Amino acid sequence: MTRFNLEDRFLHGGDYNPDQWLDYPEILQKDLELMDKAQANTFSLGIFAWSTLEPEEGVFHFEWLDKIMDDIYAHGGNVILATPSGARPSWMSKKYPEVLRTNASREKNLHGGRHNHCFSSPVYREKIAIINKKLVERYGNHPALLMWHISNEYSGDCHCDYCQENFRHWLKKKYQTLEELNEAWWGPFWSHTITDWTEIESPSPLGETMVHGLNLDWNRFVTDQTIDFFEHEIKDIRRLTPTIPVTTNFMADTYDLIPFQSLDYGKFSKHVDVVSWDCYPAWHNDWESVADLASKVGFINDQYRSFKQQPFLIMESTPSGVNWHDVNKTKRPGMHLLSSMQFIAHGSDSNLYFQWRKSRGSSEKFHGAVVDHDNDEQNRVFKDVVQVGQALEKIKEIKGSYKRAKVAIIYDSDNNWALGDAQGFSNASKQYSQTLQKHYRYFWNQDIAVEVITKEQDLANYELVIAPMMYLISEATMKKWQDYVANGGHLVSTYITGYVNEHDLTYINGWPRPLQELFGIKVTETDSLYPKDQNSLHFENHEYVVQDYCSLFEVIDSEVLATYGADFYQGQAAVTKNKVGKGTAYFIGARTEAAFLEMFYGELTRQYGLENQWVVQGDSDVSVQARDFEEKSYYFVMNFSQEKKEIQVSEESQDLLTNETVLPTISLAPYEVKVLSPIRLK
Ligand code: GAL
């Protein structure tokens, strides 16, 4: 049992950079006072502190960190201690330029920024191993140490000679022979046959970007190389502190709040003990409703919960605005509590912030923080944080609970990369991630729990699995889908599925057989529509607008649920249903408007008993998410709108935040959240 599991409270606090304030002892003193007032209990230390920890090569200064760790502990707090590899001291870049990254154009970066290091550099690996060992030897038994925060937001790639060598080595291991590699990369195309391993170079705007097999392998290599670096970082940590959990902070794709595009986090998540992530939605923006954005945040939370099927952590969020959106709007009253509770509702066991205190200089001096430049607890943001601290204390019995969902959506990184690369279809409107989020939206609106899983995860527990746009699909995945449906599962797939295999090579001899058998159709063509084009689906006397993509297919042995309304394929099958074994396989041939998905999934959820039984009358701006212990359930009821809302639930409940008893009809003020526990279960 790790210390984290033994903690009986939610983590509340965040990134703390005392190393920026060592010349201001009164500030460090004030921090301790304010930490108590903010009900903050956990701080991530040392994330970018390498130049303070090792100001000269081989000269280490830990006294300041000793004191901060001791002080935080004396105030009842925990520390998530970081390894400092996210940024390096300037002496290191100067003496060993190899530690810096080389970009795809083969230019060596200068010292500066952060996350600007080569994952292969032997010197960087040696230097990080030394400092990490010193940290674990010194603090491994410190009573405040709760968890290891390895590096910071690993991302990016390096194209230096070391990385090229490692890439070639990785390819040799994978393909064994150049014949195999040339087959996978379709070598003769444009005379690209490789005749010696040393000819292989990573993708570059100066050289190769059109060999899709190479691009896909490079993306996979970058994930593996990043994980390899992570594993290198934690060698001594694992050996010396086997019971202290290890994490690294994942991201989402910034503004869009779609899954992070450049690393396969599903793979990475197997190497961490707890998944944690940094979440920065642009609340109250002018292009989408708060509920639209909240559902995307919900999607990513569900993905991070589902990777390990256990509670995850919010490692960073902001108590107000950030500094890097185009417009950095502060949260409206109520939004901070609501957005914080949303994390918890989806399975987070923390709400941690970037940052504890605003820095005085450099680019993040105006980034939202718990403590502003006024150095005071009287401002609105600090009070909002206190409110969250109090709320987390009131609901602390929920920590560690977990609810499995009966519906899963598959997100696949390989597919995302390959489809992104594919030149064809409608290049500008592929929108794989956004499509998944549109399908998810129905379930979010209906308060039906969803897990967002990888293609490798087990499907057996799900009643319904949704796998849109699986352009890249291996025969193994097809077999898995067949087995799932044969054993009683219900599967939904869509247009642009089943084009290429795991090497990004197209299937030949028609649409893959296993998919033909599963869906009872044979896709023959995909029509791509211009943005102003439209077609329609005719389904049970209703017409639904379709855009972007229409698959044309022969029906082999499948029930036709909808037909196309126009064009040369008017009247042909557009949506089908095929019963196979004990289950059903649905195929949606076109990109539809949301109204179609609502109707379609409405039917399926009714048919398969997936509706949220607790919510009698919901509202699409009010999200309800549950967390469970075996004997007890908790419902987070969250109003993501500026309007007052009412929803009706099936039983009288108690609000853990206010202790009020709530009748089956629940009234919510704008942006209000209630955390309810049904009274019967108490
Ligand atoms: C994160 C990063 C933090 C901080 C934050 C600002 O990506 O890990 O160090 O820069 O963004 O929003």
Tens digits of residue pLDDT in 212-263:
999 999 999 999 999 999 999 999 999 999 999 999 999 999 778 999 999 9
pLDDT greater than 90 at residue 5: no
Which residues, 6 or more positions from 388, have their beta carbon under 8 angstroms from its beta carbon?
A: 12, 39, 336, 337, 340, 351
pLDDT in tens, 496-524: 999 999 999 999 999 999 999 999 999 99
Please give the radius of gyration of the chain, using alpha carbons only, rounded to the nearest integer. 26
**Residue 4: band (very low, low, confident or very high) from pLDDT cuts 50, 70, 90:** low
Per the prediction, the chain carries an average pLDDT of 97
**What is the pTM for the complete model shown?**
0.98
Query: Which atom of ligand 1 is nearest the CA belonging to 322?
Result: 12
**Residue 428: band (very low, low, confident or very high) from pLDDT cuts 50, 70, 90:** confident
pLDDT greater than 50 at residue 682: no
pLDDT greater than 90 at residue 269: yes
Is residue 153 part of the annotated active site? The answer reads yes
Q: What is the DSSP string of 401-460?
A: -----SEEEE--HHHHHHHHH--SS-GGG--HHHHHHHHHHHHHHTT--EEEE-TTS--T
pLDDT in tens, 461-475: 999 999 999 999 999
Residue closest to 547 by CA, chosen among 561, 562, 532: 532
Average pLDDT over residues 427-438: 95
pLDDT greater than 90 at residue 557: yes
Share of the chain above pLDDT 70, in %: 99
CA-nearest residue for atom 12, ligand 1, is: 322
CA-nearest residue for atom 4, ligand 1, is: 354
- Other C-beta atoms closer than 10 Å to the C-beta of 19 total 20
With DSSP H G I counted as helix, E B as strand and the rest as coil, what are the percentages for the chain, rounded to 5? Answer: 35, 25, 40
DSSP tag of 566: S
pLDDT in tens, 589-640: 999 999 999 999 999 999 999 999 999 999 999 999 999 998 899 999 999 9
Backbone angles phi, psi at 389, to 5 degrees: -55, -45
pLDDT in tens, 652-665: 999 999 999 998 89
User: Distance from the CA of 34 to the center of ligand 1, in angstroms?
Assistant: 22
As a residue count, the chain comes to: 682
pLDDT in tens, 521-555: 999 999 999 999 999 999 999 999 999 999 999 99
Q: What's the pLDDT at 427?
A: 83
Average pLDDT over residues 437-450: 98
User: Where does residue 531 rank: exposed (0-12), middle (13-18), buried (19+ CB within 10 A)?
Assistant: exposed
Show the ligand 1 pocket: residues with CB < 6 angstroms.
Answer: 152-153, 278, 280, 316, 322, 354, 364, 367
User: Distance from the CA of 322 to the center of ligand 1, in angstroms?
Assistant: 9
CA-nearest residue for atom 5, ligand 1, is: 354
Q: What's the pLDDT at 552?
A: 98
Is residue 316 part of the annotated active site? The answer reads yes
Average pLDDT over residues 267-281: 98
Strand partners, 59: 56
How far lies 485's CA from each of 460, 470, 489, 514, 584, in Å?
Answer: 10, 17, 4, 12, 6
Q: What's the pLDDT at 1?
A: 55
Q: State the amino acid at position 541 in one-letter form.
A: N
User: Distance from the CA of 135 to the center of ligand 1, in angstroms?
Assistant: 23
Distance CA 341, CA 258 (A): 20
How far lies 21's CA from each of 65, 263, 359, in Å?
Answer: 12, 34, 9
Distance CA 254, CA 260 (A): 8
Average pLDDT over residues 275-300: 97
**Residue 6: band (very low, low, confident or very high) from pLDDT cuts 50, 70, 90:** low
Residue of 54, 98, 233, 316 with catalytic role: 316
End-to-end CA, the chain: 28
User: Distance from the CA of 253 to the center of ligand 1, in angstroms?
Assistant: 13
How far lies 28's CA from each of 12, 40, 71, 320, 371, in Å?
Answer: 19, 15, 10, 22, 12
